[in-house]
Chains A and B, each alone.
Chain A
């Protein structure tokens, strides 16, 4: 596989469920990102990992828990979400020193019921 992959592509979960989103990059990058994209709102940066260390948490509620076991993999663990958390969740990667040149995965369309 090439580029940035994300699974699952679609997810429907109840407010009491626990689920995880997975991202994998095959580009040799060392920085990874989680974004939230809601209708009519700009892309919201959630978390940044550089060399698998978290360098930014953009005031994200604790019901979202990221995990970065290595520079190629990134997870977003979800629990007790709210309906307003329904959105497209995008993973991206880049070289640490070229953080503006981000390559995005296809996203996970999340619906919280």
Chain B
């Protein structure tokens, strides 16, 4: 079983719609959860962090965490073409090591 699992996509959403990106993790002791955005040919950039169950909102982005289900998601409201990128889910486990998923490629279409 992969430690951090994401659907590779591509996930295609029309401009203005809500994009929903999902991630599951295997380490039940995981403490902290992150979303990184990586544009094609660029390096990853931290965009959201969440540490407790529930929702955390930052502008058009909302991170959702459900530790009981070992599930974390990222919602992007009013999706823009500039949101087209690969979104990496990352989790710190019991060893405090940051473990990444393979990423989900998001395409926002006009």
For chain B, the count of residues having a C-beta within 8 Å of the partner chain is 22
Assuming the contacts A90-B43, A106-B42, asked whether A42 and B32 have C-beta atoms less than 8 A apart, the reply is no
Chain A positions 76-111 with a Cβ under 8 Å from a chain B Cβ: 90, 99-107
For chain A, the count of residues having a C-beta within 8 Å of the partner chain is 16
- Residues from chain A with a CB closer than 8 A to the CB of B43 are 90, 104-107
> In the bound complex, how far is the Cα of B97 from the Cα of A45, in angstroms?
9
A104 touches B102 (CB 8 A): no
A100 touches B92 (CB 8 A): yes
Assuming the contacts A41-B102, A45-B97, asked whether A100 and B32 have C-beta atoms less than 8 A apart, the reply is yes
B96 touches A42 (CB 8 A): no
> In the bound complex, how far is the Cα of B32 from the Cα of A101, in angstroms?
11
- Residues from chain A with a CB closer than 8 A to the CB of B32 are 100
Chain A positions 13-63 with a Cβ under 8 Å from a chain B Cβ: 40-43, 45, 56
**Chain A interface residues (CB < 8 Å from chain B):** 40-43, 45, 56, 90, 99-107
**Can you list 26 contacts pairing A with B, beta carbon distance less than 8 Å?**
A40-B102, A41-B102, A42-B2, A42-B4, A42-B99, A42-B100, A42-B102, A42-B103, A43-B44, A43-B88, A45-B98, A45-B99, A56-B97, A99-B92, A100-B34, A100-B49, A100-B98, A102-B46, A102-B98, A103-B46, A104-B43, A104-B44, A104-B45, A106-B42, A106-B43, A107-B43
**Chain B interface residues (CB < 8 Å from chain A):** 2, 4, 8, 32, 34, 42-46, 49, 88, 90, 92, 96-103
